[in-house]
């Protein structure tokens, strides 16, 4: 499990929320082999972004107090290196900033932007595979 999803206060287990997102429609604890990567990422991102404690922990920013741009930047800098298990490059920031903004446009709030980034990140090769260079 990526550390990106474990970033939460003791009362919120990001791993448990991800596990719940993996559950199939019957509510089984074991993920169905028929679920696509997209469905898994969507369900997990939805559950995580709906949990206020996890959102506060992973963003460490309140968009009602600070600007959305500042909170978005802080979220990307905290979440993506953990999800990708490497330092971010400018292309990562640019791509995920656009994903975040599209999420905000579609959902209308900061949590929607976070949800979009988490969903895309969970489907990315950088999350799915440990890429070692050298």
pLDDT digits (tens, 9 = 90+) for 62-79: 877 888 889 999 999 999
Residue 82's pLDDT band (boundaries 50, 70, 90)? very high
CB 61 within 8 A of CB 114: no
- Domain annotation covers residue 134: no
Q: Per residue in 110-134, pLDDT tens?
A: 999 999 999 999 989 888 888 777 7
How far is it, in rounded angstroms, from Cα 114 to Cα 98?
12
pLDDT recorded at residue 73: 93
CB 70 within 8 A of CB 61: yes
Note down the domain range covering 25: 3-128
pLDDT recorded at residue 53: 86
In the chain, the number of structural domains is 1
| Mean pLDDT (the chain, rounded) | 79
- Domain annotation covers residue 133: no
- Domain annotation covers residue 77: yes
- Domain annotation covers residue 23: yes
- Domain annotation covers residue 44: yes
Closest CA to 58 of 20, 1, 99, 14: 14
124 versus 21: the higher-pLDDT residue is 124
Q: CB-hemisphere CA count at 13 Å for 86?
A: 15
The helix-helix angle for 37-49 and 110-123 (nearest 10°) equals 150
pLDDT recorded at residue 134: 77
Q: Per residue in 1-17, pLDDT tens?
A: 455 555 544 444 555 55
pLDDT recorded at residue 65: 81
């Amino acid at each position: 499990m990526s550390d990106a999803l474990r970033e939460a206060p003791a009362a919120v287990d990001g791993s448990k929320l991800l596990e719940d997102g993996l559950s199939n429609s019957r509510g089984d604890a074991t993920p169905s082999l028929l679920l696509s990567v997209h469905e898994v990422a969507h369900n997990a991102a939805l559950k995580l972004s709906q949990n206020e404690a996890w959102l506060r922990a992973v963003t460490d920013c309140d968009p009602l107090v600070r600007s959305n741009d500042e909170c978005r930047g802080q979220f990307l800098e905290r979440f993506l290196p953990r999800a990708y298990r490497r330092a971010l490059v400018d292309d990562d920031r640019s791509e995920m900033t656009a994903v975040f903004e599209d999420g905000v446009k579609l959902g209308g709030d900061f949590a929607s932007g976070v949800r979009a980034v988490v969903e895309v990140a969970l489907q990315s090769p950088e999350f799915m595979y440990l890429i070692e260079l050298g």
